[in-house]
Structure 1
Amino acid sequence: MPTLDARLEAVLGLIRSDVHVDVGSDHAGLPTELVRRGHVRRAIIVELNSGPLEVARQAVIRAGLGDRIDVRAGDGLAPVSPDEVQSASLTGMGTRTILGILNRAGERMPPVLVVQPNDSPAVLRTWARAAGYHLTAEHLAPGFWIYPVLRFERLTGSDPAYAGLPLTAALRYGPHLLRAGGDLLRRQVWDDVVRLTPLAAPGRPAQRDLETAQTALDWCSESTQ
């Protein structure tokens, strides 16, 4: 039986749904395990290009799950009907790619999103605050680098996750992660401090980024006391 790496295990742990769509499935590993482990009743896989589309189809056939996993060709959430799915996952992509898919989704946007960008998720956290989605959970997963995994839910009002935190640091590093501390986050923040220190000078973007990292480092230190 195929296994998922730490990154996709973290994604899987944040998904519980009736019908779920996985965009850009990468060999169908995540949706296959979601169905097998009972996290979802049905899954939809969306692939843009013919090669990955056929790989996903064959993986679903080999898993014997053709009656519960539908493989569709298309761009982002376009192949999904409005209200057809309750949740979506977008993993292993750049932040801007994920943001483009979400901005094009329109009425096809589900109420729950689980995303794993390959770069800083600050833009996605900012998008969610403006789009009416709350950040309800987030994790860091070890791997080739440290992967952020975030769960957004469509809810009313302002997101309470950011209350009482310095907003810039919370958007950059994650409000739940700042409160929890943890070795992976501290390593990530410290690496930023080391990288930015020789580049920082008054008026430079690196100076603002360094101040954000130092603020986050202070919060990480407080969480361990």
Structure 2
Amino acid sequence: MLALVRAEVHADIGTDHARLPVALIRSGRARRCVAVELNPGPLAQARRNVAGAGLAAQIEVRAGDGFAPLRPGEADSASLCGMGAATIRGVLERAGAALPTRLVLQPNDSPEPLRVWARAQGYHLTAEALTEGYWLYPVLALERAGGPDPAYMGLPLAAARRYGPLLLRAAGAALREQVEADLRRLTPLAAPGRPAERELATAREAWAWLDGGT
């Protein structure tokens, strides 16, 4: 996550305890941060952590929902981590003019809705990763750019949206294990007309690419 951020002003939306902004400032990957948190308990802890780190001059902790506490154009980069993809997408859709040109997103579930949103809104994927935790967490780095996203060119679209175009191209062991697990899970569930049938077809598309498309 840290390596995907480089900004003059970075906004961490739903910052929790402000650990990411503290790390960004200490590592020199951001010159200033705005840490936004809605819930009173984590908000108070974020303010204590920033003060304890001696970084109150470089990290401003603000109370609020999503991008609402930010002025249009104030941040050139933002992160949203540790939420469901649908929640993250809702925050992005409400951001309006405060939405920056670069985003780093880490949903707790399938990132497919975020990839769909990014393609529709003119954001290109610049990096993707699977990070270990309680399970494999996807991380997406996005940047606003013109034209179709080249990351998807030449790939089966359903598989790329489900598993990630850059991850499919990299064909790493973690993604192979994820696709294999989906194949095992979905095969006994698939029947004509059921969602599992479509999901299984997508997993098979991904496996065919990993097996021969690289």
User: Fold match, TM over 0.5?
Assistant: yes
Q: What displacement does 1:205 show?
A: 1.1
Alignment correspondent of 1:199: 189
Distance of 2:189 and 2:210 partners within structure 1: 23
2:21 is the counterpart of 1:21: no
Contact 1:181 1:223 in 2 (8 A): no
The ranges of structure 1 where at least 4 consecutive aligned residues each deviate by more than 3 angstroms after the TM superposition are none
Q: What displacement does 1:120 show?
A: 0.4
2:146 is the counterpart of 1:156: yes
Deviations 1:54-109 (A, max 9, x none): 01000001101000000000000110100100000000000011001000001110
Letter in 2 for 1:91: C
Percent identical:
61
The 5-angstrom pairing of residues 1-225 of structure 1 reads 11-222=1-212
Task: State the Cα RMSD in Å.
Answer: 0.9
Aligned to 1:151, the other structure's residue is in SS state strand
Aligned to 1:78, the other structure's residue is in SS state coil
Q: What displacement does 1:26 show?
A: 2.5
Letter in 1 for 2:140: L
Contact 1:141 1:149 in 2 (8 A): yes
Distance of 1:42 and 1:60 partners within structure 2: 12
Q: What displacement does 1:127 show?
A: 0.4
Contact 2:16 2:43 in 1 (8 A): no
TM-score of the two chains, using structure 2 as the length reference: 0.98
Alignment correspondent of 1:7: none
Aligned to 2:104, the other structure's residue is in SS state strand
Letter in 2 for 1:89: S
Deviations 1:100-159 (A, max 9, x none): 100000111000010000000011000011111111111111111000000110101111
Aligned to 2:120, the other structure's residue is in SS state helix
Q: What displacement does 1:181 show?
A: 0.5
Aligned residues: 214
Aligned to 2:187, the other structure's residue is in SS state helix
Aligned to 2:95, the other structure's residue is in SS state helix
Q: What displacement does 1:176 show?
A: 0.3
Aligned to 1:179, the other structure's residue is in SS state helix
Deviations 1:201-222 (A, max 9, x none): 1111101100100111122223
